Structure 1
Amino acid sequence: MWLRLGVAEMRKLLLVVAAALCSAACTTTVAGTPKAAPTPTVTGPSGQISQYFGNLNVAGSKGPGPQREFLRETQHPDFTGDLCDLGDLTLREEPAMSTLRRDAKWRPQGGSKPRGDVYVVAVSVSVLRNGAALGEQIGLERLVLLDGKVYGFAPCPTG
């Protein structure tokens, strides 16, 4: 049985057949069993700093009290008197870890250089009340790696 096709239909049919033949002839078989690539583990300062933000956000998801306690426990030991009360607010911070770098010359405003290795990272900070966003800001945050632990500087609201 012969089909009567116009020129346009014949061209389409020939393109489909050519594509099918090429894909069948152009495939390559690789011996072995496929394996998923291992998930890279982040170690060193980058991994520890990323974990700090994860822990900060988990504490914030539990409420102002647990996040306040987290900020108190992770306040740099040279600056424990510089804590601020965020009241009923919590923070959610998302760091852009690709911006993480050492910042050896940084000093807190009016303070001396903190002990340890200072790092700076760009962070998107959401301020929340009862889980509802009140505002968002993008800025730089400093953290310090001292004796194998990451310390921060608790944020203080500005009026």
Structure 2
Amino acid sequence: MHFYDYSAIAMNGEEISMSKYKGEVVLVVNTATKCGLAPQFEELEALHNKYGDKGLTILGFPCNQFANQESGTNDQIQNSCRIDFGVTFQLFEKIDVNGDGAHPLYQFLKKEATGTLGNNIKWNFTKFLIDKNGTVIKRYAPTTKPMTIEKELIKLMEA
């Protein structure tokens, strides 16, 4: 399987194939609006605004598997992301990223880029970087601020 073989359900209920993002650099992030790392939404949005028309796509996947920090409905999550954090990048319906019920895309991402302590996602705001060809390049820790990887994003967009 390949990144482009997967799909996910957007907040509006539409199924979106990852093949839609062929030729773009993609940053996939599991999010939570009540997490202490939620201010990263602002940096993700800043990157989206700066590079969204230059070949960068940010995909947010809300998840409630870490300390019940995303317990709301999809509508509540979307409203919080938009109103509280100004998010306009693509958000998908809430998913699991670990365990038997982990979304197939996340099963793939974890296999392609393992973490320092194994495959499982350790916390909210783990980031996966995918190049223009759909290759998973790197996994970033939850504490890695989005703006600190800007140079790497630019390099991949220009490649």
TM-score category, normalised to shorter length: under 0.3
TM-score by length of 1: 0.25
**CA radius of gyration, larger in:** 1
